[in-house]
Amino acid sequence: MHLFSSETISSKNQPITHAILDKAEVFLDMKREDQIHKEVSGNKFRKLKYNLAEAKKLGYTTILTFGGAYSNHIAATAAAGKMTGMQTIGIIRGEELAEDLQKTVSENDTLRFASVYGMHLKFISREHYRNKTSSEFLDILKKEFGPSYILPEGGTNALAVKGCEEILTLQDVAYDVICCAVGTGGTIAGIINSTNISQSVLGFPALKGDFLSEDIKKYTTKENWKLIHDYHFGGYGKINKELIEFINTFGDQQDIALDPVYTGKMLFGIFDLVQKGFFSKNTRILAVHTGGLQGIAGMNKKLKKKKLPLITI
Ligand SMILES: *Cc1c(COP(=O)(O)O)cnc(C)c1O
């Protein structure tokens, strides 16, 4: 039951060796947050830690949250709920998925994982899903499911940011630049909060969105950060052959699996920036591997349908 022990877990930093880095004379290490837990990986572990403690403290026995059909947050919440004795309810975007539930769950690795871990899945239309933060809609859900601790889509709130402040540790003061993939912005906000004045943070959004900076500013007052909007590959969950090849080559060379939605895009961006001379000589870069590897199976099914090469790691 001690999924979230009182001791703070820290992940190891793994040096990356590559001719492109040597040529630019920069150093790159990866912070292996993907390794902190098998089922509740990476930043989702960090984001859930204080939320589950708070839910318990307030006497809740149920966590209710939202996500798409391939969501890392949905998978992580289901597993963390099971391991801490909380019931979980996942409100999933796409009512068509409920038409043949058995087929949906047998074909979708994320939803199957969530349901094996006991998450109750409720599928709603994209139109309803858009209202997911309105108080009327949340009241309806509370009526249906009883008192529940509600986590927003992606799991970002103040307690999630607090958990993400534990990603960087004292040993990480040695880095000049910290890089992180961005979805809702909670993770990068926590990272920014725990940097010191001589460090800067680069965020690589996995989606198109001008709102992200404002969202991040809700959780941090520091200004030593910047978003690089050039590597979203057309939007959330969108990928192309070049990205797949990058992920596969990186996996072969470094023995590190990257996910196609977040960390693959970030690493692609970092290498592209290094090649373009963005980082000055001797810059020490730390790229945070936020996990998300559970999504590869689902992505490969989509790639297969589109007759694109598969992610082979
Ligand atoms: C959810 C997720 C992110 C984005 O985190 P935010 O806090 O929403 O910005 C980044 N990487 C991975 C692997 C994720 O699963």
Do 81 and 87 meet the contact criterion of CB atoms below 8 Å apart?
yes
By residue count, the chain amounts to: 313
End-to-end CA distance of the chain: 31
Taking the centre of ligand 1 as the mean of its atom positions, its distance from the CA of residue 182, in whole angstroms, is 6
- The SS3 call for residue 182 is strand
CA–CA distance, 112 with 74 (Å, rounded to integer): 11
> Tokens standing for 146?
């009883």
Taking the centre of ligand 1 as the mean of its atom positions, its distance from the CA of residue 290, in whole angstroms, is 6
Taking the centre of ligand 1 as the mean of its atom positions, its distance from the CA of residue 23, in whole angstroms, is 30
Residue 116 identity (one-letter amino acid): V
Q: Pick from 308, 296, 306: which is nearest to 70 by CA?
A: 296
- Ligand 1 nearest-atom number relative to CA 185: 9
102: left (phi over 0), alpha (psi -120 to 50) or beta: alpha
Cβ contacts of 88 within 8 Å, gap of 6 or more: 62, 63, 64, 65, 77, 78, 81, 82, 114, 117, 118, 119, 120
Taking the centre of ligand 1 as the mean of its atom positions, its distance from the CA of residue 62, in whole angstroms, is 23
Residues near ligand 1 (Cβ within 6 A): 42-44, 72-73, 154, 156, 181-188, 259, 262-263, 290-292
**Residue nearest to ligand 1 atom 5, measured at CA:** 183
pLDDT at 2: 66
Backbone dihedral angles phi then psi of residue 276, each to the nearest 5 degrees: -85, 5
**Residue nearest to ligand 1 atom 4, measured at CA:** 183
Angle at 254 between CA 161 and CA 282, to 5 degrees: 70
Taking the centre of ligand 1 as the mean of its atom positions, its distance from the CA of residue 186, in whole angstroms, is 8
CA–CA distance, 18 with 10 (Å, rounded to integer): 25
What is the full per-residue pLDDT of the chain (313 aa) written as tens digits? 468 877 788 999 999 999 999 999 999 999 999 999 999 989 999 999 999 999 999 999 999 999 999 999 999 999 999 999 999 999 999 999 999 999 999 999 999 999 999 999 999 999 999 999 999 999 999 999 999 999 999 999 999 999 999 999 999 999 999 999 999 999 999 999 999 999 999 999 999 988 999 999 999 999 999 999 999 999 999 999 999 999 999 999 999 999 999 999 999 999 999 999 999 999 999 999 999 999 999 999 999 999 999 999 8
**Residue nearest to ligand 1 atom 2, measured at CA:** 183
pLDDT at 1: 44
Q: Is 0.85 surpassed by the pTM of this model? A: yes
**Which of 43, 49, 113 for a ligand 1 pocket mutation test, highest count of atoms within 8 Å of Cβ?**
43
- Ligand 1 nearest-atom number relative to CA 262: 11
- Ligand 1 nearest-atom number relative to CA 184: 8
DSSP letter assigned to residue 222: -
Q: What does 187-199 look like in DSSP terms, one character per residue?
A: HHHHHHHT--TT-
Taking the CB of residue 44, how many other CB atoms lie within 10 A of it?
30
Residue 196 identity (one-letter amino acid): N
> Tokens standing for 93?
């975007």
